[in-house]
């Protein structure tokens, strides 16, 4: 007696032919088969062999004795046939050749399981056996089940044994969707121009895993032929862009499939038609390959190809993409990191206001925060900090709930559960001198669950202690009593103890006139130590006291105890101590003459009682002198060229 499932599918087939059966979950049906085919990590080859032998033994016995079908169903429910399908098929082929079973037996048994079995695994076995029936009735059953994604794999594999199989599979592929389309396309041979064109135009259109579909049948020759011959139309441009965009989403795939010829051909379309963000993203992604030294294609370009590459690049750089990029950031669907990266490549500066729309629904977007905080625009930083403080739910990320350590958070893919934690950490750690305007926020941050945020907040409060010393002192006391991280707790205790030591001094000096970046032509002068450390409260600055960190020298001409006094300052202007008296005369003369000297920390004792530094004469003043001279020579009004 035919099952209701078979009757429903038969009626559907008679009415709609290859159209997918509507009563299936397109996001789930066939997933198990796809995983088994393309991942195949479930069981070993030996286990597959044993399972195939086990099923064959029970199946052959069922040919002889009635009632044994239940044993077969029990076996395949426990050990699904997909896990050892191809080995099972090979064994049946051998049995047929040895005439140990007949096509008629396989047809009768296959038809029984396909039409009369309620169990899905039984139906799959039936379709598998119908592969060898070699008759019209069996093929009709296979077609009926082919519009159901759960069975499509078994149908297509079986149809391969019949005449005109590729044409049938093409019809299935054109109508299918979901995992069914992946299975159909993977088994489709591009034997005709019609099939090749369909693969390019529609083969990757799907509700899931479109990039997998594209990769399955991507052929460079077919692409160059299809897009390179005939007229370059806007429709072709859209198809080209859509397909290349799928490749761009997986970097390794892009490297494997994209060639210089494809990039050059796409550029022909790019300069012919209007450009949207999809086009820009594809062109940008492919061009990056041509400049990537680790990419084989880039390293093997001929001189002619390099010249052509540079011409393409110059042409692309000449376009104005500001409106396209800003619209994508505000209203587009791309990951904002992509839009930000492309904006940076084309020297397009984005402001806080450009992110207002996206921040409404992504208030803690990690890439937006990083981008704004890394810029030198204090107004933008200030706007972002205000926005974050208004939107962060401090109760949700409160310290009392738990402590989260750095290793628990993947910085590349921020879990939504930690989005607020990371957003707060980013603004707290990159406030710099703005921190003095947000002392209350830093106090709140001392009680949050992310340990890195607590450390950054503590560092800020130490730097700006002088602004609200009494309030900060009390809040750090409370935080210290609650702190469960031993290192941070110890730092807080040292800081609080030093607050009670009247001999300890803390002072910040403006160092904008002496702060320089190291240069390869800087001249090493000498190694020395920082004098007067014991009188300084280094707990305020201890996180900056690491080997390799720069320190800066500045004269203190009004020092009552030493007329040659030279201060040694951290990169935020905190006074660490002085150049020893025995070594400051020559250094004082250099500085008074206009030279800039800076240092680099080379050694630090565990208790910060001794810090050694290497001193360098900066090359920056030489550069400035040469620049000034050239500027004067270029100014004819001064008379140097007359």
> Residue 542: what pLDDT?
78
Average pLDDT, the chain: 87
> Residue 283: what pLDDT?
92
Does the residue 509 lie in any domain? no
User: Which stretches of 520-641 are assigned E, i.e. beta strand?
Assistant: 523-529, 550-555, 566-569, 575-578, 597-604, 611-617
Does the residue 254 lie in any domain? yes
Does the residue 178 lie in any domain? yes
Does the residue 289 lie in any domain? yes
357 & 335 share domain: no
> Residue 153: what pLDDT?
94
51 & 151 share domain: yes
> Residue 623: what pLDDT?
58
> Residue 399: what pLDDT?
78
Of the candidates 314, 332, 348, which is a domain's last residue?
Answer: 348
Question: DSSP per residue over 585-605, as a string?
Answer: HHHHHHHHTT--EEEEEEEE-
Of the candidates 317, 348, 379, which is a domain's last residue?
Answer: 348
Question: Confidence class of residue 502 from pLDDT cuts 50, 70 and 90?
Answer: low
pLDDT of 547 strictly over 90: no
> Residue 37: what pLDDT?
78
pLDDT digit string (tens) for 156-179? 999 999 999 999 999 999 999 999
208 & 229 share domain: no
Is the Cβ–Cβ distance between 109 and 61 less than 8 Å? no
Question: DSSP per residue over 302-317, as a string?
Answer: -HHHHHHHHHHHHHHH
What is each CA distance from 13 to 110, 111, 166, in whole angstroms? 19, 17, 19
Stretch among 248-252, 295-299, 569-573 having the lowest mean pLDDT? 295-299
The domain tally of the chain equals 4
Is the Cβ–Cβ distance between 369 and 381 less than 8 Å? no
Stretch among 97-101, 353-357, 627-631 having the lowest mean pLDDT? 627-631
159 & 271 share domain: no
210 & 234 share domain: no
Residue that wins the pLDDT comparison between 284 and 543: 284
55 & 182 share domain: yes
Helix count and strand count (H, E) for the chain = 32, 6
448 & 375 share domain: yes
> Residue 86: what pLDDT?
92
Residues 6+ apart with CB under 8 A from 225: none
Q: Read off the DSSP letter of residue 350.
A: P
> Residue 297: what pLDDT?
77
Q: What percent of the chain has pLDDT over 90?
A: 51
322 & 366 share domain: no
CA atoms in the 13 A half-sphere facing the CB of 353? 1
Residues 6+ apart with CB under 8 A from 460: 428, 431, 435, 439, 442
Is the Cβ–Cβ distance between 452 and 445 less than 8 Å? no
Does the residue 513 lie in any domain? no
**Residue of 427, 347, 359, 360 lying closest to 389 (CA atoms):** 427
Residue that wins the pLDDT comparison between 500 and 389: 389
Q: Which two tokens stand for residue 551?
A: 């320190």
533 & 607 share domain: yes
**Residue of 335, 323, 325 lying closest to 362 (CA atoms):** 335
Distance from C-alpha of 207 to C-alpha of 180, rounded to nearest angstrom: 11
- Give me the sheet containing 566-569, strands edge to edge: 523-529, 611-617, 597-604, 550-555, 566-569, 575-578
Q: What is the CATH number of the domain that holds 535?
A: 3.30.70.2330
pLDDT of 607 strictly over 80: no
Question: In the chain, what are the helix, strand and coil shares in percent, each to the nearest 5?
Answer: 60, 5, 35
Question: Confidence class of residue 503 from pLDDT cuts 50, 70 and 90?
Answer: low
Helix residue ranges, H only, 392-512: 419-429, 439-445, 451-463, 469-482, 486-499
Does the residue 508 lie in any domain? no
Does the residue 274 lie in any domain? yes
Of the candidates 348, 374, 394, which is a domain's last residue?
Answer: 348
pLDDT digit string (tens) for 368-423? 999 999 888 899 999 999 999 999 999 888 877 678 888 887 766 777 888 999 99
Does the residue 516 lie in any domain? no
CA 296 to chain centre: 23
Computed on alpha carbons and rounded to an integer, the radius of gyration of the chain in Å comes to 36
Distance from C-alpha of 624 to C-alpha of 516, rounded to nearest angstrom: 12
Distance from C-alpha of 535 to C-alpha of 166, rounded to nearest angstrom: 87
Kindly report the length of the chain: 642
Query: Can you tell me which residue has the tokens 């009369």?
Result: 116
Distance from C-alpha of 152 to C-alpha of 133, rounded to nearest angstrom: 18
> Residue 149: what pLDDT?
92
Is the Cβ–Cβ distance between 592 and 527 less than 8 Å? no
pLDDT digit string (tens) for 613-642? 999 998 876 655 555 554 544 444 443 333
CA atoms in the 13 A half-sphere facing the CB of 417? 7
pLDDT digit string (tens) for 204-224? 999 888 998 999 899 999 999
What values do phi and psi take at 100, rounded to 5?
-85, -20
Q: Which domain holds residue 550?
A: 523-625
What is each CA distance from 481 to 425, 447, 542, 627, in whole angstroms? 22, 11, 20, 56
**Residue of 241, 248, 264, 174 lying closest to 215 (CA atoms):** 248
- What average pLDDT score do residues 343-360 get? 92
Is the Cβ–Cβ distance between 421 and 449 less than 8 Å? yes
156 & 119 share domain: yes
> Residue 277: what pLDDT?
95
Query: Can you tell me which residue has the tokens 């409370």?
Result: 478
96 & 185 share domain: yes
> Residue 633: what pLDDT?
44
420 & 436 share domain: yes
> Residue 517: what pLDDT?
85
> Residue 621: what pLDDT?
64
> Residue 506: what pLDDT?
77
pTM of the model: 0.71
């Amino acid at each position: 007696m035919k099952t209701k499932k078979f009757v429903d599918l038969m009626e559907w087939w008679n009415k709609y032919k290859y159209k997918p059966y509507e009563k299936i979950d397109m996001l789930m049906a066939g997933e198990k088969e796809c995983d088994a085919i393309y991942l195949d990590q479930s069981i070993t080859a030996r286990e597959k062999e044993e399972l195939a032998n086990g099923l064959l033994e029970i199946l052959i016995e069922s040919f002889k004795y009635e009632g044994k079908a239940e044993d077969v169903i029990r076996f395949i429910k426990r050990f699904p046939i997909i896990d050892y399908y191809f080995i099972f098929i090979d064994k049946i082929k051998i049995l047929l050749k040895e005439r140990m079973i007949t096509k008629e037996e396989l047809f009768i048994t296959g038809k029984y399981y396909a039409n009369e079995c309620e169990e899905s695994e039984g139906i799959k076995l039936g379709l598998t056996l119908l592969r060898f029936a070699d008759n019209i009735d069996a093929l009709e059953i296979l077609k009926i089940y082919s519009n159901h994604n759960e069975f499509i794999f078994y149908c297509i594999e079986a149809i391969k044994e019949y005449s005109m199989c590729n044409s049938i599979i093409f019809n299935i592929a054109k109508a299918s969707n979901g995992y069914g389309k992946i299975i159909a396309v993977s088994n489709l041979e591009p034997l005709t121009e019609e099939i090749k064109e369909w693969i390019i135009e529609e083969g990757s259109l799907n509700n899931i895993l479109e990039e997998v579909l594209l990769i399955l049948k991507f052929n460079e020759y077919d692409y160059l032929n299809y897009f390179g011959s005939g007229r370059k139309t806007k429709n072709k441009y859209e198809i080209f862009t859509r397909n290349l965009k799928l490749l761009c989403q997986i970097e390794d795939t892009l490297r494997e499939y994209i060639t210089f010829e494809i990039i050059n051909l796409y550029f022909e379309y790019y300069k012919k038609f209007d450009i949207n963000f999809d086009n820009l993203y594809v062109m940008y992604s492919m061009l990056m390959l041509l400049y990537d030294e680790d990419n084989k294609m880039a390293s093997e370009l001929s001189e002619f190809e390099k010249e052509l590459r540079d011409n393409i690049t110059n042409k692309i750089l000449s376009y104005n993409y500001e409106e396209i990029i800003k619209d994508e950031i505000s209203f587009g669907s791309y990951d904002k990191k992509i839009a930000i990266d492309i904006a940076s490549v084309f020297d397009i500066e984005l402001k806080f206001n450009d992110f207002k729309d996206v921040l409404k629904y992504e208030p803690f977007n990690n890439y937006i925060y990083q981008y704004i905080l890394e810029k030198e625009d204090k107004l933008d930083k200030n706007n972002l900090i205000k926005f974050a403080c208004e939107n962060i739910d401090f109760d949700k990320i409160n310290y009392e709930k738990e402590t989260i350590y750095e290793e628990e958070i993947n910085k590349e893919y921020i879990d939504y559960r930690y989005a607020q934690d990371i957003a707060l950490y980013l603004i707290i750690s990159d406030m710099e001198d703005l921190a003095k305007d947000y002392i209350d926020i830093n106090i709140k941050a001392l009680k949050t669950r992310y340990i890195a945020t607590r450390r950054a907040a503590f560092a800020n409060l130490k730097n700006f202690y002088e602004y609200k010393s009494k309030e900060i002192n009390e809040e750090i006391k409370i935080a210290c009593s609650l702190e469960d991280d031993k290192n941070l707790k110890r730092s807080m205790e040292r800081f609080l103890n030093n607050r009670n030591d009247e001999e300890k001094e803390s002072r910040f000096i403006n160092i904008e006139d002496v702060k320089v970046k190291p240069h390869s032509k800087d001249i090493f002068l000498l190694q020395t130590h920082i004098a007067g450390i014991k009188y300084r409260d280094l707990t305020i600055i201890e996180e900056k006291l690491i080997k390799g960190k720069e320190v800066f020298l500045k004269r203190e001409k009004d020092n009552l105890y030493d007329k040659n006094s030279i201060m040694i300052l951290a990169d935020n202007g905190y006074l660490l101590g002085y150049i020893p008296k025995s070594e400051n005369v020559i250094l004082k003369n250099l500085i008074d003459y206009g030279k800039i000297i800076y240092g680099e920390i080379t050694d630090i004792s565990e208790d910060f009682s001794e810090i050694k530094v290497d001193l360098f004469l900066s090359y920056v003043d030489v550069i400035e002198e040469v620049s000034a001279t050239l500027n004067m020579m270029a100014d004819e009004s001064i008379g140097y060229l007359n």
